[in-house]
């Protein structure tokens, strides 16, 4: 966002009156695929101003779109032949008074378009920034923001920030993390519950309680030095009710149910959450509208991607942040709730700009068919085309938690996890899905397995050795807990131990960690760092064997690296007959336990304990 306090000019003579202009995006770049640029200009009574391009080289002013608001203008520029430069645009009213502003077209960084997105080589670590590390207590409260600090309230702001993430980079590198997905950092100037970040009130500004745009960019650059990329959490479906647009909409169709809200906010309809209506060949339009156009809650107005000016604004905003900050990925929130034709355009624009980039969408359902609809390459019956390479694998996550906890029986337990992978046939590419052990909306893994450390290690191993892209939630490595039943957002997003000065338990130094926490942290470090160099996990084949007698075996193999992953839910040690696997493990005679480093000869049977046994065969 670019703001100017400029003197009004009449016949080039300065006057004493002041007029403020705000321009979004605040700058752009030359040599972009997205070279047809839309500027949203905000200023008092500028709607009917004429616009002239008074200084430019290779830039064309293609059109000016008058807003439905007196205080907005849309300026369209053709940058196809533009070189890096600073151009000048002049706005003039009917009386001849004019004001000019400069606009920068920057040089792109070398190889920006060829940036590598996150992939199966990575382990993604999800951070809720307000709850991770408070690196700069001086920004806990901002005079321009409505909500202050209240660490005693689990729904309040606790003070975590970008500086805290920066300070944690050595710890994260040692842990074995290679990507950070950070919950939204943009300004959320809401009166309460602003900590989670999903009610954006300025799409071009980092919330000052987290830091600044410059600090975010510096974090990305410093993280690269540790071999860590940054994934931005993007929301194109809704915004925050505290956004200034709610007082002065740029168009009459900027948000869904705009006129209803203006007449009586109490009458605004809320989403039905019936996500299958988007794909259902028998769904009526009313059901589709109820899902797609309804608001989440009163504080999250639903943006209208069918408004072409809004659609372009959102597309440009996503590209701007990738280019400006140097991102390696986007996680798109509440994916299917946005208009699906817009999602095609949005994902295509990003992947055209950055062909090796990655985007993962959130479609929260247990139904793999519903998730598969949104993945790039899927041949949908209705002809719908997506360019989003990845989706969150909620179906396998849900089945993993259920299978780990269920009683082993003919139709329950590990067999259901085994059968769930057969659903991979519905995906264009299941290996590009992101599988997770938990996130900011799900209860904590250690709690969900009833604080059974063996089952915890089994569930984590399943995620980290799967043929997916794995994601873990901050604090999982030190057994953070939550209630088990229902939604408990504040507790799930608890403060990371050691993130605040004076914390009795400190995961960074190890101070105060229990025996179980130390075991979990060591387990995570060992497996994550092994995974960094394991082609069998990153790109190898997957074979699995139907569970028997409370055990389930998977094989990951690439060239001469073969891993045998054995899951057991039996309380006592179990003798595994290796003859069953002979056709697949060949002439291997020895094995190394990846976690313990124990080496031993293979015989006719293998004794395995409860939890997981992870072996490299020799």
CATH code for the domain in which residue 349 is found: 3.20.20.80
- Which neighbouring-strand residues pair with 16? none
> Quick check: 76 pLDDT over 50?
yes
Residue 90 sits in the same domain as residue 227: no
Q: Are residues 475 and 582 in the same domain?
A: no
Average pLDDT over residues 189-199: 97
Could you report the per-residue pLDDT of 85-97, keeping only the tens digit for each? Answer: 999 999 999 999 9
Please check whether residue 504 lies inside any domain of the structure: yes
Q: Are residues 448 and 521 in the same domain?
A: yes
Please report the pLDDT score of residue 14 as a whole number. 29
Cβ contact 140:134 at 8 Å: yes
Same domain, 24 and 98: yes
Residue 77 maps to which CATH number?
A: 2.60.40.10
* Segment 337-343 mean pLDDT: 98
Residues belonging to the active site? 333, 362
How do residues 360-398 score in pLDDT, each as one tens digit?
A: 999 999 999 999 999 999 999 999 999 999 999 999 999
Statement to judge: residues 527 and 570 lie in one domain: no
Mean pLDDT of the chain: 95
Give CA–CA dist 182/165, Å, rounded: 9
In a domain, 252, yes or no: no
- What mean pLDDT do residues 23-49 have? 97
Pairing between β-strand 179-182 and β-strand 186-187 as defined by DSSP bridges: unpaired
Residue 300: inside a domain, yes or no? no
Full residue range of the structural domain in which residue 30 is found = 2-108
Q: How many contiguous H segments (helices) and E segments (strands) does the chain have?
A: 15, 27
What share of the chain has pLDDT > 90, as a percent? 95
Is residue 312 domain-resident?
no
Whether 212 maps to a domain, the answer reads: yes
**Whether 487 and 544 share a structural domain:** no
The answer, yes or no, to whether residue 9 has pLDDT greater than 50, is: no
Indicate if 513 and 454 belong to the same structural domain: yes
Q: Are 182 and 234 in contact (CB under 8 A)?
A: no
Both 431 and 544 in one domain: the answer is no
Mean pLDDT of 227-255: 98
Q: How far apart are CA 202 and CA 323, in angstroms?
A: 18
Mean pLDDT for 295-316 is 98
pLDDT 10s digits, 201-210? 999 999 999 9
Among 505, 536, 567, the domain-final residue is 536
Boundary (domain end) residue, out of 536, 556, 579 = 536
**How far apart are alpha carbons 34 and 103 in whole angstroms?**
17
Residue at token pair 């943009």: 186
Last residue of a domain, one of 77, 108, 139: 108
Where residue 565 sits, what CATH number does that domain have? 2.60.40.1180
On the question of pLDDT at 19 being above 70, the answer is: no
483 and 510 part of one domain: yes
Give DSSP secondary structure letters for 383-440: -------EEB-HHHHHHHHHHHHSPPBTTBTHHHHHHHGGGGGGSS-GGGSEEES--T
359 in a structural domain: yes
Do the domain assignments include residue 256? no
- Classify residue 259: in a domain, yes or no: no
pTM of the model: 0.96
| Band of residue 578 on the pLDDT scale cut at 50, 70, 90 | very high
88 and 217 housed in the same domain: no
Same domain for 355 and 493, yes or no, is yes
**Strand 590-593 to 599-601 pairing:** antiparallel
pLDDT value of residue 54 = 87
Q: Is the pLDDT of residue 13 over 60?
A: no
Q: At what angle do helices 515-532 and 162-175 cross, to 10 degrees?
A: 80
Percent of the chain past pLDDT 70, that is, above it, reads 97
Q: What mean pLDDT comes out for the span 469-491? A: 96
pLDDT at residue 235 in the model: 98
Same domain, 69 and 129: no
Q: How many domains, in total, are found in the chain? A: 3
Residue 587: which pLDDT band, with cuts at 50, 70 and 90?
Answer: confident
């Amino acid at each position: 966002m670019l703001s100017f306090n400029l003197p009004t000019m009449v016949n080039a003579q300065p006057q004493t009156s002041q007029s403020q202009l705000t321009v979004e995006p605040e700058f752009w770049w030359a040599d972009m695929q997205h070279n047809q640029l839309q500027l949203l200009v905000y200023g008092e009574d500028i709607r009917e101003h004429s616009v002239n391009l008074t200084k430019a080289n290779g830039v064309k002013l293609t059109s000016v779109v008058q807003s439905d608001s007196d205080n907005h203008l849309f300026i369209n520029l053709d940058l196809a032949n533009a070189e890096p430069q600073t151009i000048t645009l002049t706005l003039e009213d009917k009386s001849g008074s004019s004001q000019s502003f400069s606009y920068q077209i920057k040089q792109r960084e070398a190889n920006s378009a060829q940036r590598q997105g996150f992939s199966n080589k990575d382990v993604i670590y999800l951070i809720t920034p307000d709850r991770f590390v408070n690196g700069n207590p001086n920004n806990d409260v901002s005079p321009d923001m409505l909500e202050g600090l209240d660490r005693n309230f689990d729904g309040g702001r606790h003070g975590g920030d970008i500086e805290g993430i920066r300070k944690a980079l050595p710890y994260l590198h040692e842990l074995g993390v290679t990507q950070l997905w950070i919950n939204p950092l943009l300004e959320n100037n809401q009166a309460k519950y602003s900590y989670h970040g999903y009610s954006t009130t300025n799409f071009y500004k980092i919330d000052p309680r987290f830091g600044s745009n410059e600090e975010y960019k510096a974090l990305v650059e410093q993280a690269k030095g540790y071999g860590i990329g940054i994934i931005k959490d993007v929301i194109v479906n809704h915004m925050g009710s505290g956004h200034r647009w709610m007082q002065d909409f740029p168009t009459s169709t900027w948000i869904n149910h705009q006129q209803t809200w203006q007449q009586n906010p109490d009458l605004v309809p809320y989403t039905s959450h019936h996500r299958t209506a988007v794909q259902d060949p028998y769904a009526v339009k009313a059901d589709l509208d109820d899902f797609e156009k309804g608001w989440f809650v009163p504080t999250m107005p639903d943006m209208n991607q069918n408004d072409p000016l809004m659609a372009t604004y959102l597309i440009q905003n996503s590209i701007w942040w990738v280019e400006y900050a140097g991102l390696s990925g986007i996680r798109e929130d509440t994916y299917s709730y946005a208009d699906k034709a817009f999602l095609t355009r949005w994902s295509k624009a990003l992947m055209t700009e950055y062909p090796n980039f990655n985007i993962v969408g959130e479609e929260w359902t247990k139904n793999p068919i519903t998730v598969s609809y949104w993945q790039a390459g899927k041949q949908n019956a209705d002809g719908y085309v997506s360019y989003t390479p990845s989706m969150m694998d909620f179906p396998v996550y849900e089945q993993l938690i259920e299978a780990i906890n269920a009683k082993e029986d003919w139709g329950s337990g590990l067999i259901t996890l085994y059968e769930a992978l057969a659903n991979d046939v519905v995906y264009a590419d299941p290996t590009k899905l992101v599988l997770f052990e938990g996130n900011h909306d799900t209860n904590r893994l250690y709690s969900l397995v009833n604080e059974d450390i063996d089952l915890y290690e089994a569930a984590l191993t399943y995620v980290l050795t799967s043929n997916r892209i794995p994601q873990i939630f901050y604090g999982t490595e030190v057994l953070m807990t939550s209630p088990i039943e229902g939604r408990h957002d504040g507790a799930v997003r608890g403060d990371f131990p050691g993130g605040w000065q004076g914390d009795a338990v400190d995961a960074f130094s190890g101070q105060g960690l229990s025996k179980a926490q130390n075991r979990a942290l060591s387990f995570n470090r060992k497996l994550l760092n092994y995974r960094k160099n394991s082609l069998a996990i990153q790109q190898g084949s997957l074979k699995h064997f139907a569970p028997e007698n409370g055990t389930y075996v998977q094989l990951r193999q690439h060239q001469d690296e073969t891993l045998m992953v054995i899951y057991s839910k039996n309380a006592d040690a179990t003798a595994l007959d290796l003859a069953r696997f002979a056709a697949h493990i060949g002439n291997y005679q020895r094995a190394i336990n990846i976690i313990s480093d124990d080496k031993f000869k293979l015989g006719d049977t293998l004794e395995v304990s409860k939890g997981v046994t992870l072996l490299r065969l020799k």
